[in-house]
Structure 1
Amino acid sequence: MENSSGRITPMTALEQSAAVDRGRTVAVVGTGTMGQGIAQVALVAGHPVRLYDAVPGRAAEAVEAIGARLSRLEQKGRMTAAERAAARARLHPVAELDGLSDAALVVEAVVERLDVKRELFTALEEIVAEDCLLATNTSSLSVTAVAAALRRPGRAVGLHFFNPAPLLPLVEVVSGFATDPAAARAATATAAAWGKTPVHSADLPGFIVNRIARPFYAEGFAIHGDRGADPATIDAVLRECGGFRMGPFELTDLIGQDVNEAVTHSVWESFFRNVKFTPSLAQRRLVEAGLLGRKSGRGWYDYAPDAVRPEPHTADPAPAPEYVVTAGGLGPAAELLPMIAEAGITVREGDGEGGPGLVLPGGGQLVLVDGRTAAEFRDVVHFDLAFDYRAAGRIALAPAPHTEERTLREAIGLFQALGKKVSVIGDVPGMIVARTVAMLIDLAADAAAQGVATEADIDTAMRLGVNYPVGPFEWDGRLPHDYAHDLLEALHARVPGGRYAPGLALFQRSSAREADDEGAERAGRSGRSGTEGAES
């Protein structure tokens, strides 16, 4: 684009919104694990790459480390010897920031401190060309704040990769308050050209993944704190029943308790200490004790060479009941009915009274978790929500202290007859999978309503960024329209304080779906009535 003087304006390249040309240099500042990973991604995509680190010699060490990883890719047949040699020839360390002057894109991956990132961006602005994109890989700081000191903050954008960057496909492209839309589009196109899946996020605390994922960790810690179950059992239930790749205890041990707790604390502070994001005191104690997970040798679990990994609680074998009686349907657990029949257990039709559950031969009930406790009923065992009841390898059951032993044994035997391991947990409201999923849905609905990202991008981010079996909106669509809302409302009544109070966005979403169902039902009645009249 030409201005009135006929000169080409600096934003021309950005306004084209194309990916950064492969022939142009990409610079990475900060050569830790994430910086090296981002550099490798850009290098394999075909760019010349320059590395800079404030610690002398660190950039040269990173070049050698990346070169070794390229050699391993060659050994695995994922690149040819010629491709490896060409990539290695494009990779260079620089000793001074001035060595990045020809970069078309600079990605910083330095320490998560606002003052450090601001100072770096200010220095870079004096060095690079006017059309150079400045990207921050921050996971928890405001992109707006990082760019605030720039003369032209419109060129600054968030490019949040996930660790390990060469393997995980997701990149959150974050627009700060002043980010030029063309800059965000160029960053998105570049991430896509590098083989990544970009999603766009507004510059609100935690962006998409680190905002919405908080309950996955927090609910596991809270259930453990309430003596509902031990870490190994909670992890196993979320994996084998909920369909998650890892449970919260093993995952935070992998991430590092200090890293995970710092992100949680940052999001909590950024939301003015909103109770929905309150950090875990138990996790804080681990960090204070230096028990940081795998990297320190111990966290929630012990990683010493001779340590024995604790096993999840698994119930002893119990005889299967001869029959069950339906009571009010099973809602999202309806798939259990044909499974029970296939296992040779008679399914009798009941009178339709009661909640989603089954009456067992001894007279007790097996009821799908709904946010209430089993102690509120005479003889009940709650069972947890599953992502896929057929595929689930484990089911959690929660009896009340006064639940009849026969009822619990019949419930255990029923699920064992379906080929499931059974974990009996404490009578905590919402159990494990159900309350975790409901909280994820609630925070996702709130994020979408606040314009953080579209529902589609939120689902994509949670699947690809943290390996959830499906995104929260897709999971919500698999449930009755009011299941998550009503479960949280019941939890809020039993654990007051606001953490479980369903948000306005979830209420509106549930209400809209209910209205749609009612409208469809009325339309169906009207259509049937008209057809009958025509035939008569």
Structure 2
Amino acid sequence: MTHSERFIGLHFFNPAPLMKLIEIIPAYFTAHATTERCRQLVAALGKHDVVCQATPGFIVNRMARPYYLEGFRLLEEHVARAAQIDRALKAGGRFRMGPLELTDFIGQDINYQVSRQIWQDMQYDPRYTPGHLQRSLVDAGLLGKKNGRSYFAAEETAPPVTAASNADVETLRVYGEHPFFTLLQQRAALQWPQLRVEQRPALPGLGSAVQINDAFTVSITDGRTASQLAEQTAADAFVVDVALNYADTTYLAAAHSRHASAANKALFLRLLHTAIPQVEFIKDSPALIVARVLSSLINESVIMVESGVCSREDIDVAAVAGVNYAGGIFDWLGKLGEKNVRTTLSNLAQLLHAARYAPHYTLLHAAQPALTTTP
């Protein structure tokens, strides 16, 4: 090539006239002036640019991989049904489409092939391993919208049916601070005017939680299961999923410890319905749905930035302009809290797959171990 300093890649997104992001990929010998001219061109087109290294998937297709992969892993592990997974992520994560309906929209064959290509190009790193279920959909010709054949077509779409309780919440003992527990306390007080609320410091080994009528505890998932927490508290335990904004969330996934009583499950649902319109139990599994997916997306983005693929700012621009996320991924890290994210990832790594979920070392500080047994 005579003028290698003028060689550069521009990656448009389909449909190009509508999508607002263009990825700029300089080669080894690309001149800085060439990159700047391309940035000016992108601006003249009224679009946003991000600059990245020539690595597998560039920014968007690699950054977003955990969204699709974790959606299928949750389904393969029977954590929840497809409609529950999509519903939870749209409500709690503010995604426009859930991962499973989105792969149907893209085309299962296309999405699977991109995942497989990145997995191969990343030397078969287990973080990118595609699921066998999606491969089987492709083999069966269940490609989604493109050919009108969907594995998820028969999935129920009605709101979940939940148990009712006539019992009252008399005592709400709040340990530590969390926005959801503040909201729950406010809404519960409207439902039960005689409610007695006690504020106490966070519990060692448990963190922020609420105890209801001295009968059971409720925690925000940190990657540990409800059954593990029940062993620590010697009482029924419930965990609820993460939401970016609990105040306007319409749906929340939750799980209960293995031997939770029917009465406590019903009272838990009645309490949460004071703040969240729809609450549904799923399998008691590490990090439930939203916390697992968001933590995986954040970890992948941290790895990309720390390995020099792109900047934090480019990740956030790509998330909003490239895949239409409701916010930047590093904005999520700030909202969820670095400590909470690394603890969730550490517990996922211990309970599910060490290499797949291990937090990047820049996130590694003191994290709550998954198998803590002392309260």
CA spacing shift, 1:344–1:284, aligned 2, 3 Å: same
Aligned equivalent of 2:324:
467
CA spacing shift, 1:351–1:287, aligned 2, 3 Å: same
Aligned equivalent of 2:142:
291
**Structure 2: 5+ residue runs without aligned partners?**
367-375
Q: Give the SS at the match of 2:247.
A: coil
CA spacing shift, 1:152–1:369, aligned 2, 3 Å: same
Q: What is the aligned counterpart of 1:257 among 80, 90, 108?
A: 108
Q: What is the aligned counterpart of 1:373 among 225, 247, 252?
A: 225
Aligned equivalent of 2:307:
450
Distance in 1, Cα, partners of 2:165 & 2:26: 56
> Which string of whole-angstrom CA distances, capped at 9 and with x for unpartnered residues, describes residues 149-190 of structure 1?
x44333222222222222221111112223222222111111
Q: Give the SS at the match of 2:242.
A: coil
TM-aligned CA deviation for residue 332 of structure 1 = 5.4
Amino acid at match of 1:374: A
Aligned equivalent of 1:503:
360
Amino acid at match of 2:320: R
Aligned equivalent of 1:326:
173
> Which string of whole-angstrom CA distances, capped at 9 and with x for unpartnered residues, describes residues 4-41 of structure 1?
xxxxxxxxxxxxxxxxxxxxxxxxxxxxxxxxxxxxxx
Distance in 2, Cα, partners of 1:320 & 1:424: 19
TM-aligned CA deviation for residue 344 of structure 1 = 3.4
Aligned equivalent of 1:349:
198
> Which string of whole-angstrom CA distances, capped at 9 and with x for unpartnered residues, describes residues 492-526 of structure 1?
1111341111112332xx68xxxxxxxxxxxxxxx
2:211 is equivalent to residue 359 of structure 1:
yes
Distance in 2, Cα, partners of 1:320 & 1:174: 61
Distance in 2, Cα, partners of 1:398 & 1:330: 21
TM-aligned CA deviation for residue 461 of structure 1 = 0.7
Aligned equivalent of 2:27:
176
Distance in 2, Cα, partners of 1:282 & 1:177: 38
Aligned equivalent of 1:33:
none
Distance in 2, Cα, partners of 1:428 & 1:474: 26
> Which string of whole-angstrom CA distances, capped at 9 and with x for unpartnered residues, describes residues 77-135 of structure 1?
xxxxxxxxxxxxxxxxxxxxxxxxxxxxxxxxxxxxxxxxxxxxxxxxxxxxxxxxxxx
TM-aligned CA deviation for residue 195 of structure 1 = 0.8
Distance in 2, Cα, partners of 1:298 & 1:324: 51
Amino acid at match of 1:375: S
Amino acid at match of 1:369: T
Aligned equivalent of 1:109:
none
Q: What is the aligned counterpart of 1:400 among 257, 275, 291?
A: 257
Distance in 1, Cα, partners of 2:54 & 2:259: 50
Q: What is the aligned counterpart of 1:489 among 346, 361, 367?
A: 346
> Which string of whole-angstrom CA distances, capped at 9 and with x for unpartnered residues, describes residues 177-219 of structure 1?
2322222211111111111111111212211111111111111
8 A contact 1:332–1:479 mirrored in 2: no
> Which string of whole-angstrom CA distances, capped at 9 and with x for unpartnered residues, describes residues 31-60 of structure 1?
xxxxxxxxxxxxxxxxxxxxxxxxxxxxxx
For structure 1, which segment, 469-478 or 494-503, has the greater mean C-alpha deviation from structure 2 after superposition?
494-503
Distance in 2, Cα, partners of 1:341 & 1:213: 38
Larger RCO (CA within 8 A; separation ≥ 6): 2
CA spacing shift, 1:375–1:338, aligned 2, 3 Å: closer
Amino acid at match of 1:454: S
Q: Give the SS at the match of 2:239.
A: strand
TM-aligned CA deviation for residue 319 of structure 1 = 4.8
Distance in 1, Cα, partners of 2:295 & 2:172: 28
Q: Give the SS at the match of 2:94.
A: coil
TM-aligned CA deviation for residue 366 of structure 1 = 1.0
TM-aligned CA deviation for residue 338 of structure 1 = 5.2
Distance in 1, Cα, partners of 2:167 & 2:66: 35
8 A contact 2:298–2:330 mirrored in 1: yes
CA spacing shift, 1:185–1:396, aligned 2, 3 Å: same
CA spacing shift, 1:258–1:330, aligned 2, 3 Å: farther
Aligned equivalent of 1:50:
none
Q: Give the SS at the match of 1:358.
A: strand
Distance in 1, Cα, partners of 2:343 & 2:112: 30
RMSD of Structure 2 on Structure 1 (CA): 2.1
For structure 1, which segment, 268-277 or 154-163, has the greater mean C-alpha deviation from structure 2 after superposition?
154-163
Distance in 2, Cα, partners of 1:369 & 1:384: 6
Aligned equivalent of 1:530:
none
TM-aligned CA deviation for residue 432 of structure 1 = 0.3
Distance in 2, Cα, partners of 1:361 & 1:153: 72
2:248 is equivalent to residue 387 of structure 1:
no
Amino acid at match of 2:292: R
**Structure 1: 5+ residue runs without aligned partners?**
1-149, 512-536
Larger radius of gyration: 1
TM-aligned CA deviation for residue 393 of structure 1 = 0.5
8 A contact 2:52–2:59 mirrored in 1: yes
Amino acid at match of 1:485: R
Amino acid at match of 1:228: V
CA spacing shift, 1:157–1:372, aligned 2, 3 Å: same
Aligned equivalent of 2:372:
none
TM-aligned CA deviation for residue 249 of structure 1 = 0.4
Q: Percent identity over the alignment?
A: 35
Q: What is the aligned counterpart of 1:336 among 183, 193, 202?
A: 183
> Which string of whole-angstrom CA distances, capped at 9 and with x for unpartnered residues, describes residues 419-475 of structure 1?
421121011110000011111111111111112111111111111211212111111
Q: Give the SS at the match of 2:83.
A: helix
8 A contact 2:68–2:100 mirrored in 1: yes
8 A contact 2:301–2:329 mirrored in 1: yes
Amino acid at match of 1:235: D
2:70 is equivalent to residue 198 of structure 1:
no
Amino acid at match of 1:315: T
Distance in 1, Cα, partners of 2:69 & 2:119: 12
Q: Give the SS at the match of 1:463.
A: helix
TM-aligned CA deviation for residue 331 of structure 1 = 3.3
> How many matched pairs?
356
